[in-house]
Amino acid sequence: MKQAKTCGNIDGSNPLQHQAWLWVAVTPLVTFFEIALTRCTSAAKNLLGENFAGILNSDRYGAYNWVDINRRQLCWAHLKREFIKISERPGVSKELGIALVKQQEKLFELWHRVRDGTLTRCDFASLVKDIRTCIKATLQEAADYEVATREKTPLAKTVRTCRQLLKVEPALWLFVTTEGVEPTNNAAERAIRPAVIWRRTSFGSQTQAGSTFVARMLTVVTTLKSQNRNILEFMTLAVAAVRSGQASPCLLPEAITNSDEEDLLKAA
């Protein structure tokens, strides 16, 4: 799951052109985009549904904290950047950061072996136990340093980051034991990149209809690509369905039979 800055509105009530956000939720076969005027918890719940019972792969943004920690996977690409940032600070932060980066590198060396088939998931889970222990111990070591509430020293920043990570520590490791869960949310990053480029090379959406069009077209095109389905053919079927008063084609895989497609194309 991912958000990016955009402009325009989704409900027609944005006369002052306040900043809006493009949200994306990615699954292996379906990707959904939505534009909202906020990136708070309510927007995340609106996108996922308040009764969301799946597994959420995201960064540490607070809008996702309502999801059960045992059903979350934090993005290790973001964690890696946090560890590197810590390692670049002076003093004890540097030592802590280097230790964290070292364990992160070990973790991904093992993960790449899982991906290429040279390490079983069972052995991977076993080997990760020591890495998890080391990372948790390092985070705890940093968290135990005493810093003032408003202190802004490099060490204070490190301590606060590590304390925050300890609160969500279980969400660092779901991918280790749950097949199909990735250690990063790179899929969402890739999905939203074309939309970001589109926004930068245009004037954004200025109306409710424009925002709806953007979100729906991004949803359709990205989803069809993930299913290796023909985009032009799907759009032709959709237009034909509207013109003939028939049901629109479905984005869910294998939801439309060949005979249904042929009937719609004839009606066009």
pLDDT, block means (10 residues), the chain with 268 residues: 56 62 93 92 92 94 95 97 98 97 98 97 97 98 94 95 98 96 94 91 84 94 95 96 93 64 44
Task: Report yes or no: 148 and 178 within 8 Å, Cβ to Cβ.
Answer: no
Pairing of strands 72-74, 31-36: unpaired
- pLDDT score for 264: 41
The CA distance from 209 to 220, in Å, is 16
Q: Which parts of 144-185 fold into alpha helices (H)?
A: 154-167, 174-177
Strand partners, 216: none
- pLDDT score for 209: 87
Task: Report yes or no: 65 and 42 within 8 Å, Cβ to Cβ.
Answer: no
- pLDDT score for 10: 44
- pLDDT score for 235: 96
Task: Report yes or no: 41 and 47 within 8 Å, Cβ to Cβ.
Answer: no
